[in-house]
Amino acid sequence: MKNIYAGAVVLLIEVVLQSLWIRAQRSGKLKIFQEQKSYGPMIDVEKKASTPSMGGIVFIVISVFLCLLGAADNKIWFFAITCGIVGLIDDGLKFFRHSSEGFSSLKKLVVQVIISSIYAVFVSVNHDINLWGGVSSPVWVSIPLMIFLSVGLQNAVNVTDGLDGLAAGTVSLSLAAVVIFMGELNYDTAAALGMVLGFLWHNSHPAKVFMGDVGSHFLAGLLFALVLFNGSILLLLPFSFLFGIEIITSAIQIFSIRKLKRKIFRMAPLHHHFQLLGWKETLIVNRFYIAHILGMALLYAILSGALPE
């Protein structure tokens, strides 16, 4: 029960601090709004352009506090904070440039690979990591696999964060799946769930705040580390189902445009395709939640049948 209480306390702290962050921006003391991409769907542009951003800064503040209390598992939260700082730098560049572009894609990828590599080596040297179930993973397999999945998840959560409540809600469902898999709610997962649900309180449609790259990178790092230390490396595949679909469709679209000179989707990532088909934002988000739940269950079942326990 104490972990449930801890999660509830973190939820309340997130709601309150995020409210203060929103109020500070609305009052004019801070004006950190998200620059809209000129190549986006151009739907509700004025409304979204006036919505406060970088809500993920509150994630970092709370996480540092949890680590200082000594209750949290630092090896999990430190990686999430590090990923969040990468996103924060990206957001900062956008803010000061008054542009929708921060890091160049290549520079961001290099930074993501570096921090993921350092973390993967640290984890492999200090901890036994399972590939799936009770199957241990040799270092020459686990390190490159962790780097690939970590970098992929950071970018996948980032591209998923395009509709009110989509990324935060999907991450919360993934965290719930982690709890179901473990059969118990430990402190770190409870705190993570409380934090994400507290943010979703403000981020649900119509969003009062966006998480920014700082938030999406932080949540990706947090989900990665929680799954890694509460399960196995390959569990990231089912628990990241929707994020994988979003980034794969983006990759397909880019390849098709550059090599085939045609579009597969009206726009990528996939949620924008449905926007341009005329689906309401809330309808897309709710149906993507359902797809994520079903996808996690199906992919977990497939992997469980295909891989040894």
**Distance between CA atoms of residues 230 and 275, nearest Å:** 36
Taking the CA atoms of residue 80, residue 85, residue 87 and residue 89 in that order, the dihedral angle to the nearest 10 degrees is: 180
- Per the omega criterion (within 30 degrees of 0), is the bond before 269 cis? yes
Q: Give pLDDT, residue 126.
A: 85
The domains of the chain are located at: 2-233
**Distance between CA atoms of residues 184 and 156, nearest Å:** 27
**Distance between CA atoms of residues 71 and 216, nearest Å:** 24
DSSP 88-154: HHHHHHHHHHTSS--S-HHHHHHHHHHHHHHHHHHHHHHS--EEETTEE--HHHHHHHHHHHHHHHH
**Distance between CA atoms of residues 196 and 291, nearest Å:** 20
DSSP 70: T
Q: Give pLDDT, residue 36.
A: 54
Q: Give pLDDT, residue 47.
A: 62
With contact defined as beta carbons under 8 Å apart, do 206 and 281 qualify?
no
Q: Give pLDDT, residue 102.
A: 67
Instruction: From first to last of the 309 residues of the chain, give the pLDDT tens digit.
Output: 789 999 999 999 999 999 999 998 887 666 665 655 545 565 655 566 678 889 999 999 999 999 998 888 999 999 999 999 999 999 988 877 766 676 778 899 999 999 999 999 999 888 888 888 777 778 888 999 999 999 999 999 999 999 999 999 999 999 999 999 888 899 999 999 999 999 999 999 999 999 999 999 999 999 999 999 987 899 999 999 999 999 999 999 999 998 888 888 899 899 999 999 999 999 999 999 999 999 999 999 998 876 766
Q: Give pLDDT, residue 135.
A: 74
User: Interior CA angle at 220 toward 36 and 305, to 5°?
Assistant: 125
Give 187's contacts (C-beta < 8 A, 6+ positions apart).
3, 6, 71, 72, 73
Residue burial 186-217, b: 16+ Cβ < 10 Å; e: rest? bbbbbbbbbbbbbbbbbbeeebbbbbbbbbbb
